[in-house]
Amino acid sequence: MAAIVAGVCAAHGATHEFEYSFEFEPTFNAPTCVAKAVKAAIEVAGAANVDGNCRPVLASEDFGAFLMVVPGNYMFIGSGIPGEPGGTPLHSPRFDFNDSLLLPGARYFATLARHRLGR
């Protein structure tokens, strides 16, 4: 990034100062929590609708700070998928949450809680 800023400034006769800081902790899912989350998601949505091994994402989330204290996992519920209702990414000014995900989301968390409680 510093090289790009320097190049753009040099091309336009400008000067710059560059400083980069890491504002968020990385989000690392706890493998045991992922396994439990995937089990609950499959129970609610069916195996064909669950990806328990999605690609890593550089999401700028404060959730990573929570996971530094309490093991857990970050998951996606299906909002922000291009071409589907609510398909605009979360941090877009055009984002509109897909309300049809509310009930499956509630079922997922209730199922996860029951599994964690041994029921």
- Give the pLDDT mean for 2-7: 95
pLDDT digits (tens, 9 = 90+) for 6-60: 999 999 999 999 998 877 888 889 999 999 999 999 999 999 999 998 887 777 6
More confident residue, 106 or 21: 106
Nearest-angstrom CA–CA distance, 94 and 90? 9
Please tell me the predicted confidence (pLDDT) of residue 60: 63
- Mean pLDDT confidence for 96-101: 87
Where is average pLDDT lowest: 30-34, 84-88, 110-114?
84-88
Q: Quote the CA–CA distance of 33 and 36 in Å, as a whole number.
A: 5
* pLDDT (average), residues 94-102: 87
Residue 89: pLDDT band with limits 50, 70, 90:
confident
* pLDDT reported for residue 71: 94
pTM for the full model?
Answer: 0.74
